[in-house]
Structure 1
């Protein structure tokens, strides 16, 4: 069954032709903290070729730790972050898991914790084997 989701105002919808993400990660990088306005961003990493986005998106590109651009995709109407698309890993895209359909969000099982070097000191450990940066 494909995964799906939408932004806050429902102007942007998406479908992912996979049954589950490749990984579901707590992302503690500073950029994700700023984009989400929270302590981390929960992301569902999926094959980019499996994703179809419909609606008025905008994007902004900033340099990632690789030196390559990371394109942050968001709703052009309500501003909800939808995904980040790293040029350093062109085969994948990281969906902001909070935008997944409610029934799908409830079944997610985070399995990875990345960029713990940026973890805020009051955040608890989520997983036993966190990565200080990106996994190799």
Structure 2
């Protein structure tokens, strides 16, 4: 299976040649909430040595609770988050929303991490669902 994707402006593309993701799930840590601008980040975890990018990737170094560096990768043109790369681990977490459409439609998240940061309203079913923006 080859996972492919790109940023919003398509200046950055990537691929991961893997049998399957190691983990597909929701990351509720505060850093992922801030990077995604949402309540969690959908992540697809793959080995670092299977992940390649092309285009203008910028990396910002943050420090995890462990004290180890975590590099947040994003497009230097449009700012789309691409992945987060924990320095102390042999894996990288691709931001699931950047995967090509047909690939992300087939994802089956089965894991949640950093649930200590999960926001309380994420468990609630919303009363007014809309397929698109309300008219």
TM-score between the two structures when normalised by the length of structure 2: 0.89
Distance 1:40 1:92 in 2: 19
* Residue 122 in structure 1 maps to residue 121 in structure 2: yes
Aligned to 1:20: 20
Aligned to 1:49: 49
Distance 1:85 1:45 in 2: 10
5+ residue gaps, structure 1: 126-136
How many positions carry a matched residue from both structures? 124
Aligned to 1:67, what secondary structure does the other structure show? coil
CA RMSD of aligned residues (A): 1.0
Aligned to 1:133: none
Could you list the structure 1 runs, at least 4 aligned residues long, displaced by more than 3 angstroms after superposition. Answer: none
Once the 2 structures are TM-superposed, how far is the Cα of residue 47 of structure 1 from its aligned partner?
0.6
Aligned to 1:70, what secondary structure does the other structure show? strand
Once the 2 structures are TM-superposed, how far is the Cα of residue 96 of structure 1 from its aligned partner?
0.2
5+ residue gaps, structure 2: 125-135
Asked whether the equivalents of residues 66 and 88 of structure 1 are also in contact (C-alpha less than 8 Å), the reply is no
Asked whether the equivalents of residues 22 and 45 of structure 1 are also in contact (C-alpha less than 8 Å), the reply is yes
TM-score between the two structures when normalised by the length of structure 1: 0.88
Once the 2 structures are TM-superposed, how far is the Cα of residue 88 of structure 1 from its aligned partner?
2.2
Aligned to 2:97: 98
Aligned to 1:45, what secondary structure does the other structure show? strand
Q: 116-125 or 37-46, which moves further after superposition?
A: 116-125
Larger radius of gyration: 2
Distance 2:21 2:123 in 1: 24
Distance 2:80 2:20 in 1: 22
Asked whether the equivalents of residues 25 and 114 of structure 1 are also in contact (C-alpha less than 8 Å), the reply is yes
Distance 1:59 1:111 in 2: 28
* Residue 110 in structure 1 maps to residue 109 in structure 2: yes
Once the 2 structures are TM-superposed, how far is the Cα of residue 19 of structure 1 from its aligned partner?
3.7
